[in-house]
């Protein structure tokens, strides 16, 4: 059974600082997604990573995928308040097509 | 263009009542997924349709949960004899995925927040 773990679960960081969220998964997959969720809202797609070594960047966020290590990272550069949200990684299951989500990282940016 | 829509957005049910949650996927999307998100948790898979065929229902927590997509577009998730543990946000997602092995992005609806009292 595929398991997806994120850490940290909670993260408070000051504006302007850099930090990384980690996503580990337990079985082979080369498809990984990052989503953002604001309180009371649905999931907003941030990145789709489709191969080993994939790196994607959008603004202050950068995501990478290492399929050999079964690890993805979401790096935040020079955080700003509007990045405060919960971030989920999700791994694609070949054969049954479903996404298995991590537990989420609740990010709070402090002025 | 229009995204995935769900209705109702909020539903309060008394314990033991039946509820029906509706999902309208993006037009032309072959695949449709239902997920359950408990408070403070990540979404968990419930069931998956490809067109009108329900290919995977392994995540449905009990036989009180039933989903259908009779014409391959709109889907309904029905919960019979609701229990307090059914309180959660129910998310619907659709994608172009047609079983061909290529991973298409899933687009999520706003969710239905179900509260069972």
**With an 8 Å Cβ cutoff, is A104 touching chain B?**
yes
Q: Which site among A42, A50, A51, A92 would you substitute to test the B interface, given the most B Cβ atoms closer than 10 Å to its Cβ?
A: A42
Distance of CA B98 to the CA centre of its chain: 18
Is A31 an interface residue toward B (CB < 8 Å)? yes
DSSP letter (8 states) at residue B71: T
B33:A103 CB<8 A: no
**Cα–Cα nearest to B114, from B82, B93, B87:** B87
Task: Look at residue B56 and tell me whether its pLDDT is greater than 80.
Answer: yes
| Per-residue pLDDT tens over the stretch B33-42 | 999 999 989 9
Asked which of A40-44, A84-88, B22-26, B53-57 is least confident by mean pLDDT, the reply is A40-44
* Closest approach of B15 to chain A, Cα-based (Å): 23
**Inter-chain touch A42–B91, beta carbons under 8 Å:** yes
CB A48 within 8 A of CB B104: no
In B, which residues are within 8 Å of A10 by CB distance? none
For residue B1, name the pLDDT band (cuts at 50, 70, 90): low
What does the block give as tokens for B6? Answer: 């769900």
| Pairwise CB contact (< 8 Å): B41 & A104 | yes
- Cβ neighbours around B60 below 10 Å, total: 19
The answer to whether A48 touches A54, Cβ cutoff 8 Å, is no
The string of pLDDT tens digits covering residues A59-74 is 999 999 998 999 999 9
- Which residues numbered 10-49 in B keep a CB inside 8 Å of some CB on A? 31, 33, 35, 40-45, 48
What integer pLDDT is reported at residue B100 of this predicted model?
Answer: 67
- Span A4-110 CATH architecture: Sandwich (2.60)
Q: Which domains does chain B have, with CATH numbers?
A: 5-97 (2.60.40.10)
Look up residue B81 and give its DSSP letter: S
Cis previous bond, A37, omega within 30: no
Q: Please write the tens of the pLDDT for every residue from B71-90.
A: 999 999 999 999 999 999 99
Query: CA of B103, closest CA in chain A: separation in Å?
Result: 7
Q: Could you tell me the two tokens for B62?
A: 């009990």
Best probe of the A interface among B23, B42, B48, B115, by most A CBs < 10 A, is B42
The SS3 assignment for A82 reads helix
Q: How far off is chain A from B73, nearest CA to CA, in Å?
A: 18
Task: Name the residue among B35, B42, B45 with its Cβ closest to that of A103.
Answer: B42
């Amino acid at each position: 059974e595929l398991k997806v773990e994120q850490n940290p679960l909670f993260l408070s960081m000051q504006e302007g600082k850099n930090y990384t969220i980690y996503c580990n998964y337990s079985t082979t997959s080369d498809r990984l997604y990052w989503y953002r969720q604001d309180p009371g809202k649905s999931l907003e797609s941030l990145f789709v990573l489709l191969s080993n070594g994939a790196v994607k960047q959008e603004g202050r966020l950068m995501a990478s995928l290492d399929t050999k290590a079964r690890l993805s990272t979401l790096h935040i550069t020079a955080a700003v308040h509007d990045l405060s949200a919960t971030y989920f990684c999700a791994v694609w299951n070949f054969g049954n097509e479903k996404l298995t989500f991590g537990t989420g990282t609740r990010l709070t940016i402090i002025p | 263009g229009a995204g995935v829509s769900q209705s109702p957005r909020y539903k309060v049910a008394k314990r033991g009542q039946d509820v029906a949650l509706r999902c309208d996927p993006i037009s032309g999307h072959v695949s449709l997924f239902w997920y359950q998100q408990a408070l403070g948790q990540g979404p968990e898979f419930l069931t998956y349709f490809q067109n009108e065929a329900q290919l995977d229902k392994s995540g449905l927590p009990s036989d009180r949960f039933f989903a259908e997509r009779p014409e391959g577009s709109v889907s309904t998730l029905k919960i019979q004899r609701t229990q307090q543990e059914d309180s959660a946000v129910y998310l619907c997602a659709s994608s172009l995925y047609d079983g061909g092995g290529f991973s298409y992005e899933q687009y999520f609806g706003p969710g239905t927040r179900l509260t069972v009292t």
